[in-house]
Structure 1
Amino acid sequence: MYEKMIEPRVSETDGVGHINNTTVPVWFEAARNEIFKLFTPDHSFKNWKMIILNMNVAYKSQIYFGQDVLVKTWVSRIGNSSLELYEEIWQNDILCAEGKVTYVNFNLEAQKAERISDSIREELGKHLLHNETDEEG
C-alpha cells in the first residue's frame, strides 16, 4: 500500500463547512505520485506514460478542514498494458471516500498502449490489495 498524508486547505472547504467533493479526486491523484514515478521517472510530460481511462469515487463521510487526511492506495489489478488502483481517504479513523481508477501505459509518440515492463510489474506487485489482505488474515 502507498500512503500519503494531506493537510486540507481553507480553499478546499465549501460553503457548508466540509471539503468540497471536487477536491477528493485531486487528493487521490496526489497520492499516485510514486506510481507515476515508476512509469515516468523524470516526470516529463513529453515522456508521460500514465493515461487515465476510468475513475469512480464513492463518498462515505464528510471531510473537514483542520484535520489531516490519509490517502491509501493499493494496486488491485495489473493487466498487460493497464492497471487498476483502489484508493481510500481516511480522517480521524473514519473512511470518508473510496476510489477506483484505471490507467493504461501509453506511448504518446506511437499513440498506442504498451506492455507494462517486468520491473514495474514487480514493484506494483508489492502493493497488491490481496497481498495485504492475505497477510492480515
Structure 2
Amino acid sequence: MKRKVYLLGLCVAIVGAAATTAPVGSGQHVTLARDYLEACEIGEGECPPVVIKRTKGERVSVGFFPIPRASVMLWDSLRYQQRMAREPVKWLERQGSGSDVENPKPIAFDLTRRIDGTYYLWLTSCGVGGVYVVRLKTL
C-alpha cells in the first residue's frame, strides 16, 4: 500500500508502514520503523525502498529507532555495487549507537547535501540487521 504524507507542503512517499516522517525545522526526518526492518531482515512481508521527496535546499535526514550495539554504514549506489563485487571500497559515512544497552546513541544520517539517487543503509546490531534502500529525489 503506497501513500503520501504531506507535512508543511512537503511530500514523502511512504510504502506501508516503512517509515515515519516528522518535520524538523525547515526540513524532514524519516525514521525507519522496527516492523519494516524486521520484515526486510527475515524476508517476510514487503520491503520496498523508502522514497524521500524533497524540495531544493530542504534539510533531510534518515535514522533508526534506538537500537543498542548497532553500527550503520551509508553507501551510495556506485560504492555499494563495488562492495558487492568484493572490491575494497569504503562507505560514505558510518555511525554507531555505542554499547550502552539502556541509552543507545541515536543514529541519523543527514542527506541534505547528498545528490539525488539510491542509497543503502547497512545495519548490523544485536536485534535486527540488513541492507535498507533509500531513494532520494528533489522535486
Structure with the largest fraction of strand: 2
Structure with the largest fraction of helix: 1
TM over 0.5: no
Q: TM-score, normalised by structure 2?
A: 0.27
Q: TM-score, normalised by structure 1?
A: 0.27
